[in-house]
Structure 1
Amino acid sequence: MQSSKKKLIVAITGASGAVYGVRILRHLQTLPDWESHLVLSQSGALTASQELDLTRAEIESMAGVVHSVKNIGATIASGSFPNAGMIVAPCSMKTLAAIALGLADNLVARAADVALKERRRVALMTRETPLNLAHLRNMTAATEMGAIICPPVPAFYARPASIDDMVDHTVGRVLDLFDIPHDKLTRRWDGIRPAGADSY
């Protein structure tokens, strides 16, 4: 029997920036009305181990439901599974290419493909720099299919005092795309301070 909670699919793939996916999972744990469905790729687990000293088991323990990346028959591989959409955080260029080309060769790409065909929101936190033409064309193709390219770009107007501040601000912006509350994560922009406005 399925939970009555709102469901968000979260995929963590092999690009640098595993902290974004982990932070999203941890935040969803604090929201009683939301349930996360995690797909953690092999490369994503390896990167998280290198960047965060977290094991696969530790990351998976943060999720409401865990799906194997190899399980093409998982609930999230079907359009009949109700959910709010999907965030790929971070999204490697390999995963971006698979989504842009509709390969559906693993559960990350398949779940994204299903979400897009059902016209659900898909946010891809693409992580690479500099970008070559294949990357740019794949971003265009994914956008034309309905995905939102949402690279983790720091916003310095928020005056971040730490890496955590920068991560939280970016995560907050992505969660906004799904109307997921996050008031404790980041401060919203409230306009230019009067002193700053006078200098222009």
Structure 2
Amino acid sequence: MIKKIIYVVRHCKAVGQPSESPLTEEGLKQSRYLVEFFSNKNIERIISSPFLRAIESVEPLSNNKNVKIEIDERLSERILSTTDLPDWYGKLKDTFKHKHLKFEGGESSNEAANRILNVVDDVFKSKIENTLIVTHGNIMSLLLNHYNDKFGFDGWNNLSNPDVFQLILIKNEVHMERIWR
């Protein structure tokens, strides 16, 4: 029986939120630690958000495993709004309860979740057994919420940078586990 594994990685600590924000010095150290963390795991494919902080998080691992990083726009962080929301934290919390809720220029939780779920579905349908995807906290939380409805706003709030979950597909059933310690 073929078992498929997807390692879902939240990027390491970064300087800011814009797509071009690089990793901090601590984030660069964390990216090197990811190499050690995944040293005993078979990684056949790496797919990353196009955001610099995501790419920099897995570059050392990509080099170590000799696996090219594929960029997938669907792994970009969710856009809550294109306007400044001084109360963004409360508004984000509301979007975990009301998944169709969206703000000016932004995506609903459902829209953002569908993007990352399409990536995961494509990976599970592929012939490759061990894939790593690197993305961002909000969209990652929406993915994890799909497989465990108890993983909501508080789950997002308790993610670390980096963080790692694994999704294991066995007989058309997905099992989710946090493996980052």
Q: TM-score if structure 1 supplies the norm length?
A: 0.34
Q: Which has the larger radius of gyration?
A: 1
Higher relative CO (CA 8 A, sep ≥ 6), structure 1 or 2?
Answer: 2
TM-score, normalization: structure 2? 0.37
